[in-house]
């Protein structure tokens, strides 16, 4: 495969560090990788501001692939209106519907019930207080966890407040990658939402929600497939 540019969008918290295990693997395979850092902890910034940051980071490159993790799924399709994008890849991502805010997405998709059923099925207490170690970090190696706190930022609610502004999904080839062991967005939930909203059946890979930290090799294998 010829060299491509991968623009890597993080999820909630907006830290480019999330991709630090993926970037060198993509570069080893001859591709350019740009991990975008978003102003996620600043209430002054909404989705359109995130789009500006991404556009400035990736520029207008040939054969740009946008890869969006989790909440990044709200931003990446909007970037396609601003710069040429050859492929859009969603990784354990939120898939918005026209006119639906990010805040409404959770109930509209049934995420809460899906997570509850997954917790019950796998023996976790569905009524326990939210614990990042249980639903986010359960499969992230200890040596990676040791650095995680230094890169953790609280996510502002501003990008979740307004309706998603597109009236349809962009006319860009799209793939959906879903992690088999995701506890926040269980894989059967992701499959259903992707099929209902995009008519796409996800490709399944091992790992939890933060798969770029826990399974970077397997993720890169799919990204460059």
Taking the chain (225 residues) in runs of 10, the rounded mean pLDDT of each run is: 92 95 97 97 96 95 95 98 97 98 98 97 94 93 90 94 97 98 98 98 98 98 93
Of 46, 52, 44, 42, the residue nearest 71 (C-alpha): 46
- Do 29 and 59 meet the contact criterion of CB atoms below 8 Å apart? no
Hey, what are 19's tokens? 């991709």
- Give the torsion through C-alpha atoms of 16, 22, 28, 30, to 10 deg: -70
Quote the pLDDT of residue 1.
63
Q: How many CA atoms lie within 13 A of 96 on its CB side?
A: 30
- Do 21 and 212 meet the contact criterion of CB atoms below 8 Å apart? yes
The count of residues in the chain is 225
Sign of the CA dihedral running 150, 219, 84, 1: positive
Hey, what are 69's tokens? 């993790």
Fold that domain 5-223 belongs to in CATH? Rossmann fold (3.40.50)
């Amino acid at each position: 495969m010829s060299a491509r540019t991968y623009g890597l969008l993080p999820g909630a918290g907006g830290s480019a560090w999330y991709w630090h295990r993926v970037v060198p693997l993509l570069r080893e395979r001859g591709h350019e990788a740009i991990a975008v850092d978003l102003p996620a902890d600043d209430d002054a910034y909404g989705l359109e501001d995130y789009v500006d940051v991404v556009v400035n980071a990736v520029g207008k490159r040939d054969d740009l692939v946008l890869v969006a993790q989790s909440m990044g799924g709200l931003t990446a399709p909007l970037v396609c209106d601003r710069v040429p994008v050859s492929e859009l890849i969603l990784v354990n991502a939120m898939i918005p519907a026209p006119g639906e805010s990010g805040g409404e997405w959770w109930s509209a998709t049934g995420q809460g019930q899906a997570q509850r059923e997954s917790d019950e099925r796998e023996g976790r207490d569905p009524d326990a207080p939210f614990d990042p170690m249980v639903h986010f970090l359960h499969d992230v190696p200890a040596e990676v966890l040791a650095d995680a706190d230094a890169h953790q930022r609280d996510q502002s609610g501003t990008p979740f407040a307004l309706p998603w502004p597109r009236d349809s999904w962009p006319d860009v080839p799209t793939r959906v990658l879903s992690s088999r062991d995701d506890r926040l967005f269980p894989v059967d939930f992701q499959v259903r939402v992707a099929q209902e909203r995009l008519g796409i059946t996800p490709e399944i890979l091992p790992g939890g929600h933060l798969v770029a930290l826990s399974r970077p090799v397997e993720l890169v294998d799919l990204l460059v497939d």
